[in-house]
């Protein structure tokens, strides 16, 4: 089986991860940090607004079951790409909307997808999503991985 990789930032990585985990063809996900100025940042450092990292999701997927374009459709559907450095109550540069492409094909597909969304007038405000080359992806602390799934299990065992 061929496995491809994609990286998206669309606000708090917990909700982004939960949405992508539901997609058939997604093999695994990891939350982490990307786009900042130094190596191996911690959550506390990223939240300080001094590192430049975004909270992001790495998606490993089977392209025979889900295409990169379909993942882009999920990306646009799960957040508001018109709010700069904000998603819902979460404010800060770490919550920016961005697509981190890993090769020229992903860049082309991301640019085309963004153009289609803009042309559709689905959003009344301008889209602020950045499409940028992926830098090093730093895995977030273990307690952030599959956070919603872990939280729901804890809640179910305490009822």
Phi-psi region of 83 (alpha: psi -120 to 50; beta: other; left: phi over 0): beta
Domains and CATH numbers, the chain: 4-157 (3.30.1060.10)
pLDDT digits (tens, 9 = 90+) for 20-49: 999 999 999 999 999 999 999 999 999 998
50-94 per-position pLDDT tens digit: 999 999 999 999 999 999 999 999 999 999 999 999 998 889 999
Annotated catalytic residue: which of 12, 26, 54, 66?
A: 12
Give pLDDT tens digits for 118-153: 999 999 999 999 999 999 999 987 777 876 676 665
Q: pTM for the complete prediction? A: 0.91
The band of 157, judged by pLDDT with boundaries at 50, 70 and 90, is very low
pLDDT of residue 23: 98
Is the confidence at residue 158, as pLDDT, over 50?
A: no
Q: Which long-range contacts (CB under 8 A, 24 or more apart) does 73-79 make?
A: 73/113, 74/19, 74/20, 74/23, 75/8, 75/10, 75/99, 76/113, 76/117, 78/10, 78/15, 78/16, 78/19, 79/10, 79/11, 79/16
- pLDDT of the residue at 155: 45
Catalytic, 47? Answer no
């Amino acid at each position: 089986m061929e496995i491809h990789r994609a990286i998206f930032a669309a606000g708090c990585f917990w909700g982004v991860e939960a949405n992508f985990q539901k997609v058939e063809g997604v093999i695994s996900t990891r939350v982490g940090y990307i786009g900042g100025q130094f190596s191996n940042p911690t959550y506390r450092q990223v939240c300080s607004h001094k590192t430049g990292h975004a909270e992001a999701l790495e998606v490993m997927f089977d392209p025979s079951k889900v295409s990169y374009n379909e993942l882009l459709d999920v990306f646009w559907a799960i957040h508001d790409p018109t709010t700069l450095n904000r998603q819902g109550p979460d404010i800060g540069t770490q919550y920016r909307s961005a697509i981190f492409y890993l090769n020229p094909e992903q860049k082309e597909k991301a640019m085309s997808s963004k153009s289609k969304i803009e042309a559709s007038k689905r959003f009344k405000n301008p889209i602020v999503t950045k499409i940028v080359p992926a830098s090093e992806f730093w895995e977030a602390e273990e307690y952030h991985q599959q956070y919603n799934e872990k939280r729901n299990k804890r809640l179910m065992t305490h009822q």
